[in-house]
Amino acid sequence: MTDAFAGTGAVADAAGTALYQQVQHFYAQQMQLLDDGHAEEWARTFTDDGVFEVGGEAVRGAADIAVAARRTTDKFAADGIQRRHWTGMLTVSGTAGGDEVTARCYAVVLETPAGGDPVVRRSTVCADTLVRTGGRWQVRHRRVTRDGLD
């Protein structure tokens, strides 16, 4: 495997740039699905046997991930809280033409109560194994660690 970008941040090649853009676009679409309350569609961005791990607790399988995501999104909606996940500082390692990459980014979670001001609720690191299936990227394994706790 090679880094899509060299250690200095320089573009390795056009294929590496395209891979980086694909993964960045995947995260933008995926996070917006969750933030807009589309829990089941968001869960379909995981493989059928995908793992979502936060703080040592893991949910396994896209079906169970969907149930957990729906429960969480419904709770925030009932409480009148809009959540936004902001990702950045993305790194991607893999082969540009390959079907599996590792990706790591920072994810900041903002919460805005109805009529209120946004607050930073979480600062995390998201480490993923992504696989290309049927021409689209999916998460095989996600590990989220919270700054200051994990």
Whether pLDDT at 66 is above 60: yes
Checking if the pLDDT of 147 tops 80, the result is: yes
Higher pLDDT, 17 or 68: 68
What fold does the segment set 2-146 form as a domain?
Answer: Nuclear Transport Factor 2; Chain: A, (3.10.450)
pLDDT at 12: 60
Q: Are 47 and 140 in contact (CB under 8 A)?
A: yes
For the stretch 123-133, pLDDT in tens is 999 999 999 99
Give mean pLDDT, residues 57-73.
97
pLDDT (0 to 100) of residue 11:
45
Q: What is the dihedral of CA 29, 35, 40, 42, to 10 degrees?
A: 30
81-104 per-residue burial string, b: 16 or more CB within 10 A, e: under 16: ebbbbebeebebebebeeeebbbe
Label residue 5 by pLDDT band (50, 70, 90). Answer: very low
Question: pLDDT tens for residues 106-146?
Answer: 999 999 999 999 999 999 999 999 999 999 999 999 999 99
- Boundaries of every domain in the chain: 2-146
Q: What is the pLDDT of residue 10?
A: 41
